[in-house]
Structure 1
């Protein structure tokens, strides 16, 4: 792999597919993808939210960026109950993908989801793109990073 980030839907799908291919070729345990919104898009969304948080207040409320991990034909991700409903909707359009396991840790809010993803890297890349956009509500201009291969 020669690039580790992308910011358009087509480039992100290719990035995800390339990382999955590299992961398989290297025999690594997993590939991890992480989203970071474009600064201007994030500022616009924060302003549109009208929550009044700025500066240090906004920094205190910053959450970890959404991530999706792929390994051994399985997607792994964390989500809220509302995001889980959105995930089920997205997976309805990917018949080769199926939720295998839901884990609700006592010490954390939300759920960890394991999805069997027995498909070629391009199809997995399409699904990962849809997860970031439709489950995690990332803007079209969000930047995706491959943070582990």
Structure 2
């Protein structure tokens, strides 16, 4: 891989597909995709005060403000979400019949749920689903920047 971020829907899907291919070729444990922390901070600040402060990045230690992420490994998507986001995820997955929720884990020490989704599809189809998850489940804007955090 030669690039690790993208900011348009087409570029992000190509980035996700390339990262999945690189992950498979390298035999790595997983590939991690993250929304840019600044975009998440802007969304969180705008939701709280109606006025975003672009100089304040998201606090990665605060789960309420940490940027959303999706991991892919061994034919499985892994992500954390709230109950409302889980409903949106189920709606998105309804349009991807080859993708099925395999496991839901609700840790006692935190709110939300960890979701494991079987994603036995080619890299392009997985990339389409990941893009839709960021946009529709995590409510990221069309121009959000995504990063490949690990391959």
1:91-116 per-position Cα deviation (integer Å, ceiling 9, x unaligned): 00000000000000001110000000
- Structure 2 vs 1, CA of residues 8 and 131 (structure 1 numbering), >3 Å: closer, same or farther? same
2:87 to 70, 85, 88: 85
- In structure 1, what is the Cα distance between the partners aligned to 2:43 and 2:110? 29
Relative contact order, CA 8 A, sep 6+: which one is greater? 1
Q: Which residue of 2 aligns with 1:7?
A: 7
Relative to the length of structure 1, the TM-score reads 0.88
SS of 1:102's equivalent? strand
TM-superposed deviation, 1:58: 8.4
* 8 Å Cα contact 2:31-2:150 kept in structure 1: yes
- Aligned-pair Cα RMSD in Å: 2.6
Matches within 5 A, 1:1-149: 1-36=1-36, 43=42, 46-47=45-46, 49=47, 51=49, 63-149=65-151
Structure 1, gaps ≥5 residues long: none
- In structure 1, what is the Cα distance between the partners aligned to 2:11 and 2:22? 16
SS of 1:2's equivalent? coil
* 8 Å Cα contact 1:38-1:142 kept in structure 2: no
* 8 Å Cα contact 2:41-2:57 kept in structure 1: no
1:5-48 per-position Cα deviation (integer Å, ceiling 9, x unaligned): 00000000000000000000000000000001666x9658845x
* 8 Å Cα contact 1:79-1:111 kept in structure 2: yes
Relative to the length of structure 2, the TM-score reads 0.87
